[in-house]
Amino acid sequence: MKLLLEQNCLAFKTFLAIPLSFFYCLGNAAEPNWVDLAVHNFGAPINTMWAEGELSFADDGTMVYCSARQDMAVAPGDPKDLYIATFNSDTGSWNTPVNMGIPVNAPPATDIDPLRFGDDREPWITGDGNTVYFKSDRTATTSPRNNNDLFVTYKVDGEWTNPLLVGFPISTDVGDEHCPAILQDGETLCFASKREGGFGGSDIYCSNQDADGNWMTPVNQGPNINTAAEEFHFTQDKDGMVYFSSARPGGYGGMDIWGAMQKGKNAWDVAYNLGPQVNTAAADMCPALPPGTDTISWFSTRADNSLGSIDIFWTNKLNVQKK
């Protein structure tokens, strides 16, 4: 048990990009070791017997993610709520997650519309940790059928504000917008939508604000990113590489994570699969980038190394297949 705890602590510290040379037990830090080469389960208290999903990180390592756990849900039967967790470098483990609570997480309201299940997920937290974009079904309508829209909440004096709808032309009545994210420029909002004019399924679109702070008409990110299959969840690193989920042919089965380098505004190189260390025959999706430059995380339905249902995983970027 002591050895297991020591290994778990080491893995989490490496995850936070603490230099490997700090740990004398690793020997030659220049040589890849088991921590570098493995795909790691985030472990408790993040992953549970319930499904954990989409996540993102603030610059200080604060993580926001979603979970179907019922022991901390804002209402019984709530499909997904948003949670925040901080990392404790002294223990090498995550602190107990905190449900973001009402009004960020909406309880079910099927008495108003049968599509309002109280499903809040796919959070994106800004680097300063003060803004979270996410999708919610709190304004879902049966006619016209609109399952979810995008919302934003701000931390003011330590409290999260009542979420605001990110309105048209971002959220629409028919597009089922989801998976919001901000690119590295800190200004470009990208998201997935099934609106008319796309390549099929969910496509990835991006938008910027005008001088008055209004979101401009979103731009489809084109055939190097979008296909007739489902594409969603842009996540960009500091080198300009974007990682995203796609069900296009050529993967390992189910959803896979793909990468593409930015070539200019709304312009991308041809996407490539991140390879078998990240992708499996299961559904592997919704990449997130922890602070630093060395690691990548995502969630997966893979059965190996799972605590139950769907878990969140991470690995060193050296295991990401290059184009």
Please tell me the predicted confidence (pLDDT) of residue 305.
80
Domains of the chain by start residue, with CATH = 1-37 (no CATH), 41-319 (2.120.10.30)
Instruction: Supply the pLDDT for residue 35.
Output: 86
- What are the phi and psi torsion angles at 114 (to 5°)? -65, -10
Q: Report pLDDT for 38.
A: 93
Going by pLDDT thresholds of 50, 70 and 90, the confidence category of residue 166 is: very high
Among 10-14, 122-126, 210-214, the range scoring the smallest mean pLDDT is: 10-14
The reported pLDDT for the residue numbered 208 is 98
CA 125 from centroid of its chain's CA atoms: 10
Q: What is the mean pLDDT of the chain?
A: 90
Cα separations (Å) of 156 from 131, 160, 165?
10, 6, 18
The mean per-residue pLDDT over the stretch 101-116 comes to 97
Q: Predicted confidence band at 322 (pLDDT cuts at 50, 70, 90)?
A: confident
Summarize pLDDT for 242-296 with one digit per residue, the tens.
999 999 999 998 899 999 999 999 999 999 999 999 999 999 999 999 998 899 9
Q: Are 56 and 63 in contact (CB under 8 A)?
A: yes
Q: What pLDDT does residue 11 have?
A: 46
Q: Can you tell me the distance from the alpha carbon of 231 to that of 264, in angstroms, rounded to the nearest whole number?
A: 20
Q: What is the percentage of the chain residues whose pLDDT exceeds 90?
A: 81
Task: Inform me whether the pLDDT recorded for 74 exceeds 80.
Answer: yes
pLDDT at 6 over 80: no
pLDDT of res. 108: 97
Higher pLDDT, 2 or 65: 65
Tokens 């999706």 correspond to 285
Strands (E), 13-92: 39-41, 52-57, 63-67, 81-85, 87-88
Spatial CA neighbour of 312 closest among 42, 11, 37, 36: 42
Mean pLDDT (whole number) for 89-117: 94
Contacts of 271 (CB under 8 A, 6+ apart): 224, 225, 244, 246, 248, 258, 259, 260
Does the reported pTM lie above 0.85? yes
How sure is the predictor about 162, in pLDDT bands with cuts at 50, 70 and 90?
very high
How much is the pLDDT for 17? 39
Q: How far is it, in rounded angstroms, from Cα 224 to Cα 237?
A: 18
CA-closest candidate to residue 238, choices 40, 59, 42: 59
Q: How confident is the model at residue 306 (pLDDT cuts 50, 70, 90)?
A: confident
The span from the CA of 279 to the CA of 235, in Å, is 16
Q: Percent of the chain having pLDDT more than 70?
A: 91
Q: Rounded to the nearest 5°, which phi and psi values hold at 302? A: -55, 140
> Would you state the pLDDT for residue 87?
85
3-state secondary structure at position 231: strand
Range name among 89-93, 119-123, 243-247, 278-282 with the lowest pLDDT average: 89-93
What pLDDT is attached to residue 292? 87
Question: Exposure of 277 by Cβ count < 10 A (0-12 exposed, 13-18 middle, 19+ buried)?
Answer: middle
Across 20-34, 100-114, 191-205, least confident range = 20-34
pLDDT in tens, 27-68: 345 677 888 899 999 999 999 999 999 999 999 999 999 999
Burial of 263 from C-beta contacts in 10 A (0-12 / 13-18 / 19+) = exposed
